Structure 1
Amino acid sequence: MRIDASVITPYPTFAYSVLDRYIDGDIIIDKSSALIGTSSGIYAVMGDETNDDFAPMLMHEFKRREMLNQRFTLFSSSERWDRRINELLGAKLQRMPRYSFTFNEHRFMQSQRAGIPDGFRLNRTNKESLEVNREFDAAYIRKYWGSVERFADKGFGFFVTEHDVFAGECVSIFSSEQYAEIDIVTNPLFRGKGVAQCVAEAFILECLERQITPRWDCGLHNTASIRLAQKLHFAAPETYSLYVRK
């Protein structure tokens, strides 16, 4: 199976990150099926779910991570794969349905920006800020990117402060030549003040400047994330399945 990141149906951003060598990972291929995984233990399965020669490879990778008590998170690419995963690993994995949104660039560019709330300051994430960030610190970056230096080269993020207090922040948890996926958090003390929309708008504009597409995924019941996505003109959510170790 030859994987061409430019033509395949959109899969999770981290799969493209591995294919484009933005981050370290593994690509396991057998005939018409493939498993793409990050070094942090996040995987995407794709291709022919009926490939019986591929099933042992998937099982082996899961058992290897399980024996080491390491993370194993698996993204399914279709309902057919959902059924196959349940057959192979249903006793070991728990399904978590999620939304993947599509960004409407035209509507975003035509819309009114929320901008920076009065009294706040918008900052770009850098090596120095990662040492003091509340959520997206250097340990977080090393977990998903492998190193701060790699993130500084290929990733990006923004944070908002009020009198040097972190009010909200976002980063590209994964990036590739085509996409950047947002991870975003707001300090509970500053919710309802437009902080999340401010950093998210900055993230989107940075994506457009880099000529890549912003990606927004969240859990089915994360109403706050869904509302914010809609404000930013992410629409037409498609449901997919994520599996985590029980």
Structure 2
Amino acid sequence: MIYEANNEVRKKLIPMFENIDSTIVLSYLQGHMGTAWVDNLENPTVAQITVGIFVFYAGDPNTKEAEELLYNLPEFTLAIVDSDEWKNRIETVHNGAIEKFERYRFKKDPEHFNRTHLQNILTSLPEDYEIKKVDNNIVNLPSFHELSEDFVSQFDSIDDFVNRGVGYAIIHEGQVVCAATSFSIYDDGIEIEIATHPQYRRKGLATITASALILYCLDRGHYPSWDGANSESAELAKKLGYIFKESYDTYFIDNIK
């Protein structure tokens, strides 16, 4: 049997997840967002953290509760673990329903950024385009949400995003055509979510919005964490000043029955 963790249990999970290098995990462990499930509320030996479509596992993968947790998923899941034992368990339990691919981690050091470089990028905004910090007006535009539901989906509400999150958007002809926001938040920063309308790609807009968001974070002593979903995202990160750390296995699990 598995149980949803409360705040007291959450604190017990910190050592269990210490080997997973992800600010999204910190979002839960530091009490900002997400949920967790465990096998035992007093002395958990296996646990699952879920923030949006991201699901992380730690502890003993060989228990029957571990299998229960591996079925305790959102419709579409990106599962991340820190051991071959867990990888083998995922591949066994979800045989035929998974796709294994690589994501890309970057070193988390604010000194790696060149502010002058980022400010110069902002000057490359094409004519007739405008970049704005996401406010109550922008966050309610349908074109903003059509780009990515994950701009605000980890927050309790749109108001909660406006109060605790941050984002920048590029507007063209009254429509949001590119935006970068805080997918999640943790004590010392954010995890970046970025999306561009298909008709507006290859114009440098993602680089511009990301630069604005990174500068905003740096000015406030927050770290703008970047985790690349694919090689294109990884190359954009390098262009912005991030230094590659490692690639790691991720499992897409289609949980639709």
Q: How does 1:161-172 map to 2 (within 5 A)?
A: 161-172=171-182
Confirm or deny: 8 A CA contact 2:143 2:177 kept in the other structure: no
* One-letter code aligned to 2:88: R
**Residue number among 60, 67, 71 corresponding to 2:68 in the alignment:** 60
Structure 1 ranges of 4+ moved more than 6 A: none
Confirm or deny: 8 A CA contact 1:104 1:233 kept in the other structure: no
Normalising by the residue count of structure 1, what TM-score does the alignment of the two structures yield? 0.80
State the alpha-carbon separation in 2 of the partners of residues 118 and 143 from structure 1. 30
User: Structure 1 residues 27, 63: CA separation in 2 closer, same or farther (over 3 Å shift)?
Assistant: closer
1:118-157: CA deviations, max 9, x gaps? 4232111123212215254695456322311221222111
Q: How does 1:179-194 map to 2 (within 5 A)?
A: 179-194=189-204
> Could you tell me which residue of structure 1 aligns to residue 170 of structure 2?
160
Structure 2: gaps of 5 or more residues: 1-10
Is 1:150 the counterpart of 2:157? The answer is no
**Residue number among 52, 56, 60 corresponding to 1:44 in the alignment:** 56
Normalising by the residue count of structure 2, what TM-score does the alignment of the two structures yield? 0.77
> Could you tell me which residue of structure 2 aligns to residue 125 of structure 1?
134
State the alpha-carbon separation in 1 of the partners of residues 152 and 192 from structure 2. 16
Confirm or deny: 8 A CA contact 2:46 2:65 kept in the other structure: no
Is 1:230 the counterpart of 2:238? The answer is yes
State the alpha-carbon separation in 1 of the partners of residues 151 and 192 from structure 2. 13
User: Structure 1 residues 135, 82: CA separation in 2 closer, same or farther (over 3 Å shift)?
Assistant: farther
Structure 1: gaps of 5 or more residues: none
Q: How much identity, in percent, do the aligned residues show?
A: 20
User: Structure 1 residues 150, 163: CA separation in 2 closer, same or farther (over 3 Å shift)?
Assistant: same
* One-letter code aligned to 2:68: H
**Residue number among 87, 107, 115 corresponding to 2:122 in the alignment:** 115
> Could you tell me which residue of structure 2 aligns to residue 93 of structure 1?
98
State the alpha-carbon separation in 2 of the partners of residues 241 and 47 from structure 1. 18
Residue 75 of structure 1: how far off its partner (Å): 1.3
* One-letter code aligned to 2:101: M
Residue 161 of structure 1: how far off its partner (Å): 1.8
Residue 226 of structure 1: how far off its partner (Å): 2.2
State the alpha-carbon separation in 2 of the partners of residues 8 and 178 from structure 1. 16
User: Structure 1 residues 10, 199: CA separation in 2 closer, same or farther (over 3 Å shift)?
Assistant: farther
Secondary structure at the counterpart of residue 113 of structure 2: helix
User: Structure 1 residues 139, 118: CA separation in 2 closer, same or farther (over 3 Å shift)?
Assistant: closer
Q: CA RMSD in A?
A: 2.9
State the alpha-carbon separation in 1 of the partners of residues 235 and 75 from structure 2. 33
Secondary structure at the counterpart of residue 219 of structure 1: coil
* One-letter code aligned to 1:180: I
> Could you tell me which residue of structure 1 aligns to residue 8 of structure 2?
none
State the alpha-carbon separation in 1 of the partners of residues 175 and 212 from structure 2. 19
State the alpha-carbon separation in 1 of the partners of residues 166 and 133 from structure 2. 8
Residue 204 of structure 1: how far off its partner (Å): 0.9
Secondary structure at the counterpart of residue 234 of structure 1: coil
> Could you tell me which residue of structure 1 aligns to residue 76 of structure 2?
71
Secondary structure at the counterpart of residue 82 of structure 1: helix
Secondary structure at the counterpart of residue 211 of structure 1: coil
Residue 48 of structure 1: how far off its partner (Å): 4.9
Count of paired positions: 235
State the alpha-carbon separation in 1 of the partners of residues 112 and 29 from structure 2. 30
